[in-house]
């Protein structure tokens, strides 16, 4: 098979990365995609750096067995802890979600005050403030770990009163700091946009990296001569380490699209 006809491999700890996948499907309709959700070990956001690195390496190895031409790390916890090590370990282009989100946030903010919400692992890594400071030393960053957001999304409580109250609690510091831009630093969080807008008001711009990630992937494919020929019908493949049926049911909320087939891989 010609290299440019190979698929792009995408992984996440579970479902959240489907927000990135959806954007890849719409911006790169000719590209085959293989998605892996590590649902046996989800979540990553409450785990240690060491474990996240180990899991991420295993996920890339798994995707390489499926003959992919590029890897998208569609998980903020993995991107913030493991991206550098993955790039050192594997000889394949690897795109993470942190930098595209930061670039968009810096292009969006007017006051230079940026809020970041993410899992404890991502916040603990310091990846967002470090990269923002490197690109704009005047920008101010206010970070907040939101460990209950992923379970709330997984439970499907996207617009319940309780979810609104949890969000109000988590966003206190960011509101007080008068941030005008909020990075959704976890691929689950775009599903909470309605609640986040209610808490913060419409003047705060919500930055979700999914769209930007797909643009970075597009540019990189073109630069490296890896883009698939246009006018072909792309194939999608979904792999998980646990609960394929649950994944299939939940995926619709992320993709607005019914997945036909989800395969469970054995470790």
Q: What number of chain residues touch its own copies (CB under 8 A)?
A: 26
Q: Where are the beta strands (DSSP E) in 220-261?
A: 236-240
- By CB under 8 A, tell whether 57 contacts its own copies: no
Q: Note whether 59 binds its own copies by CB under 8 A.
A: no
Piece of the chain touching its own copies by CB under 8 A; list 2-10, 19-27, 164-172, 180-188: 164-172
State how far the Cα of 249 lies from the Cα of 6, in Å rounded to an integer.
28
d(CA 169, CA 178): 15
Instruction: Look at the alpha carbons of 68, 71, 77, 82 in this order and tell me if their dihedral is positive or negative.
Output: positive
Q: Pick the piece of the chain touching its own copies (CB under 8 A) from 5-13, 154-162, 181-189, 201-209.
A: 154-162
Report how far Cα 215 is from the mean position of its chain's Cα atoms: 14
Closest among 130, 124, 157, 104 to 44, alpha carbons compared: 124
In the complex with its own copies, which residue's Cβ is closer, 72 or 192? 192
CB of 34 to its own copies, least distance (A): 22
CA 259 – CA 98 distance, rounded (Å): 27
Query: Which residues in 21-50 contact its own copies (CB under 8 A)?
Result: 39-42, 46-48, 50
Residue from 65, 159, 169, 222 binding its own copies (CB under 8 A): 169
Helix (H) or strand (E) holding 80: helix 76-89
89 makes contact with its own copies (CB under 8 A)? no
Q: Which is nearer to its own copies, 246 or 253 (CB)?
A: 246
Output the furthest CA–CA distance in the chain (Å, rounded). 55
3-state SS class at 163: helix
> Does 148 sit near its own copies (CB under 8 A)?
yes
Q: Is 161 among the residues that bind its own copies (CB under 8 A)?
A: yes
Q: Interface with its own copies by CB under 8 A: which residues?
A: 39-42, 46-48, 50-51, 147-148, 151-152, 154-155, 157, 160-162, 165-166, 169, 241-243, 246
């Amino acid at each position: 098979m010609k290299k440019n006809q190979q698929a792009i491999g995408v992984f996440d700890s579970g479902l959240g990365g489907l927000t990135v996948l959806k954007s890849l499907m719409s911006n790169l309709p000719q590209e085959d995609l293989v998605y892996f959700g590590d649902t046996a070990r989800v979540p990553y956001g409450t785990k240690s750096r060491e474990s996240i690195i180990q899991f991420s390496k295993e996920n890339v190895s798994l995707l390489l067995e499926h003959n992919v031409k590029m890897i998208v790390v569609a998980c903020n916890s993995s991107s913030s802890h493991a991206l550098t090590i993955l790039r050192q370990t594997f000889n394949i282009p690897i795109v993470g979600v942190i930098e595209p989100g930061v670039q968009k946030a810096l292009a969006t903010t007017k006051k230079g005050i940026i809020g970041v919400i993410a899992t404890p692992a991502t916040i603990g890594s310091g990846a967002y403030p470090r990269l923002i400071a490197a690109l704009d030393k005047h920008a101010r960053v206010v970070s907040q770990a939101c460990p209950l957001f992923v379970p709330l999304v997984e439970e499907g409580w996207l617009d319940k009163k309780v979810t609104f109250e949890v969000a109000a609690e988590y966003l206190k510091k960011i509101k007080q700091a008068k941030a005008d831009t909020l990075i959704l630093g976890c691929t689950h969080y775009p599903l909470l946009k309605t609640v986040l807008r209610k808490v913060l008001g419409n003047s705060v711009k919500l930055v979700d990296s999914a769209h930007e990630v797909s643009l970075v992937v597009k540019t990189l494919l073109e630069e490296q001569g890896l883009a698939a020929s246009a006018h072909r019908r792309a194939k999608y493949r979904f792999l998980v380490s646990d609960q394929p049926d649950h994944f299939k049911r939940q995926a619709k909320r992320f993709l607005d699209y019914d997945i036909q087939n989800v395969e469970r891989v054995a470790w």
